[in-house]
Amino acid sequence: MKKKSIQMKQKDMNTSPTDGALDENVDSKYIIKHLLQIPVLVAALGYLVDMYDLFLFSVVRVPSLLSLGTSQEQLLDDGIILLNLQMAGLLIGGIFWGILGDKRGRLSVLFGSILIYSLANIANGFVTSFEQYAVLRFIAGVGLAGELGAGITLVAEVLPRKIRGYGTTLVATMGVLGAVLAYFVADLFAWRISYFIGGGLGLLLLVLRMRVFESGIFVKMKDKNVQRGNVLMLFNNKKRFLKYLKCILVGLPIWFVVGILITFSPEFGKALGITEPVNAGKAVMFAFTGQVLGDLASGFLSQYYQSRRKIIFAFMLISLVMAATYLLFPTNDIVVFYAICTLLGFANGYWTLFVTIAAEMFGTNLRATVATSAPNFVRGAIIPLTALFVYLKPSLGVIYAASAVGLLTFVIALIALKYLEETFSKDLNYVEEN
């Protein structure tokens, strides 16, 4: 793949990733100065609201469906339908927002996506039927798809090369805190009010975003005669396509854990013989509390060892061990069960590095397309994973069906990681050729 360098001179806070950060020793004042830029802070807060809204459904799934008339026997099946519709929205939105981010700019996505998912989540609080709920979870999914990729792309392009890992770690960590916040809000308020709060937070953040400036790398690239946001470019070059595919596959175990093991933890708790009912909201809260620590640990370890791949490999192995513990070494103690959920969340902390690699791996004219679509394809992978889980469940049972699906995802991800390029010190000032 050919790369064409774009020489740039950026001013003030909008620093080029190649400028002023090539020394190995970067002091804390320098790091803090750049992390406190408005684009970084707003991207981090945006992902907090995004994750709040995304995982609120996992927290309120049971009470919301019961209030709409769903029977106890239908909770799992109806929950899977709503989850899959939300993820289908993420898939479609990931492509749409990614293309828009490369064609019109990162800010257009940050404004449009938060408006859509904020209004959709407010509307979720008014639903009176399962059908209405299904439509609105799909629309919310479309809106939620744009937040992470656009935010990570903007942060990666604004921050200097040597510290951009700290910036993406901050964004990802704030996002995970949003998932934890969803639990506490849902614990204090009724599920409808919890949706209203999420939508209201998004609209407040929309006002704050009026002060955010566009990435200098993107502004300079707009003046060049290059194709931007052409999704076909991901498929018309074998090497580029395989790179994109490997990037997606590496993230599969994260959403096997989140989308199946944690979201449906009440059903797994019953199958594992835990006498006390498992609270899905608590499982989500504990898992994402663990992921906050995992995101911080993976981000700082990546900076220390100057490698994304090595740390992803380590966290992936921890995740494999903890998933096996969750499924194959059952406990009757609900406290131990929640502790395992916390450790599963910690192992999921390589999400920070996964989204960072997605932003670093491609040129400026495709960066938002990849950084926005790749995480959402990983999220959307929950559709075939849950379909396989449901298909295997009658013959293997809940535990062994999940074990088979999980083993498949980990094997695929480890193979993809083996052939993934290292991006830690990669210069982002280039475009993808046709």
DSSP letter string over 172-196? HHHHHHHHHHHHHHHHHS-HHHHHH
Q: Looking at the predicted structure, is the pLDDT value of residue 284 above 50?
A: yes
Average pLDDT value for residue range 5-26: 40
Confidence at residue 225, expressed as pLDDT on a 0 to 100 scale = 76
Q: Say if 218 falls within a structural domain.
A: no
Condensed to tens digits (0 to 9), the pLDDT of residues 223-280 reads 777 888 888 888 888 999 999 999 999 999 998 998 899 988 998 999 988 888 998 8
According to the model, what pLDDT value does residue 428 have? 81
pLDDT tens digits, 58-96: 889 889 999 999 988 888 889 889 988 988 898 899 889
What are the backbone dihedrals phi and psi of residue 423, each rounded to the nearest 5 degrees, phi first? Answer: -120, 5
372's CB contacts (< 8 A; 6+ apart) are 94, 97, 98, 101, 109, 145, 146, 148, 149, 150, 153
Q: Is 3 helix (H, G, I), strand (E, B) or coil?
A: strand
Q: Is residue 223 part of a domain?
A: no
pLDDT at 157: 86
Tokens of 332: 């009757």
Q: Is residue 5 part of a domain?
A: no
pLDDT value, residue 18 = 39
Examine the pLDDT at 12 and tell me if it is beyond 70: no
CATH code of the domain containing 187: 1.20.1250.20
Distance CA 201, CA 179 (A): 14
Q: What is the pLDDT of residues 304-362, one digit of tens each?
A: 899 999 999 999 999 999 999 999 987 888 999 999 999 999 999 998 788 889 888 89
C-alpha distance from residue 421 to each of 102, 221, 305, 310, 397 (Å): 23, 24, 16, 11, 38
Assigned domain for 222 exists: no
Per-residue pLDDT, 168: 84
Distance CA 202, CA 359 (A): 24
What's the domain count of the chain?
1
Task: Give residue for tokens 């774009």.
Answer: 6
Residues 365, 431 contacting (CB under 8 angstroms): yes
The helix (run of H) or strand (run of E) holding residue 399 is helix 382-418
Indicate whether 172 belongs to any domain: yes
pLDDT band at 211 (very low <50, low <70, confident <90, very high): confident
Q: 188 lies in a domain?
A: yes
* Exposed / middle / buried, residue 188 (Cβ in 10 Å: 0-12, 13-18, 19+): exposed
pLDDT band (50, 70, 90) for residue 26: low
Given pLDDT bands bounded at 50, 70 and 90, which one contains residue 424? confident
Instruction: Answer whether residue 4 is part of any domain.
Output: no
- SS3 (DSSP) at 343: helix
pTM of the model: 0.78
Q: Do the domain assignments include residue 162?
A: yes
What's 55-67 look like in SS3?
Answer: HHHHHHHHHHHHH
Question: Could you tell me the sign of the dihedral formed by the alpha carbons of 368, 418, 245, 386, in that order?
Answer: negative
Backbone phi, psi, residue 126, to 5°: -105, 0
Average pLDDT of the chain? 86
Given this model, what pLDDT does residue 64 score? 94
Q: Is the pLDDT of residue 10 over 60?
A: no
Question: With 90 as the cut, is the pLDDT of residue 153 above it?
Answer: no
Q: Is the pLDDT of residue 405 over 50?
A: yes
Domain region containing 373 = 11-19+28-212+229-426
Asked which of 122-126, 247-251, 283-287 is least confident by mean pLDDT, the reply is 283-287
